[in-house]
Amino acid sequence: MSFLDDLLAGGPDYRVARDIGGAIFGPAEDSEEALERFQSVVDRIVANDGLGYRVVKRLIHRTSDYAQNSIDRLVINF
């Protein structure tokens, strides 16, 4: 199974919504802890950009909730 296949299967630290041409990722729940855990998922997605998908950089959404500048939404295209 590829990284992309594993990623699209979802995980405990994030949720994924698939679309025809890509997917949208976000934290598993609406809490500061979930947002913090999601940052490691973001790091892995960005590090593997180009391996079957592209990160849509203009659609990366940063939140200022919890006095952080964390990413709470990430979009990829296949």
DSSP-assigned letter for residue 13: T
- 65 or 24, which is more confident? 24
Is 76 within 8 Å of 56 (Cβ atoms)? yes
List, for residues 26-64, the tens digit of each pLDDT value.
Answer: 999 999 999 999 999 999 999 999 999 999 998 888 886
Element (H, E) at 55: strand 54-55
| pLDDT tier at 1, thresholds 50, 70, 90 | confident
Look at the chain and report how many structural domains it folds into: 1
Domain span at residue 15 reads: 3-77
pLDDT at 2 over 80: yes
**Are 46 and 55 in contact, with CB atoms under 8 Å apart?**
yes
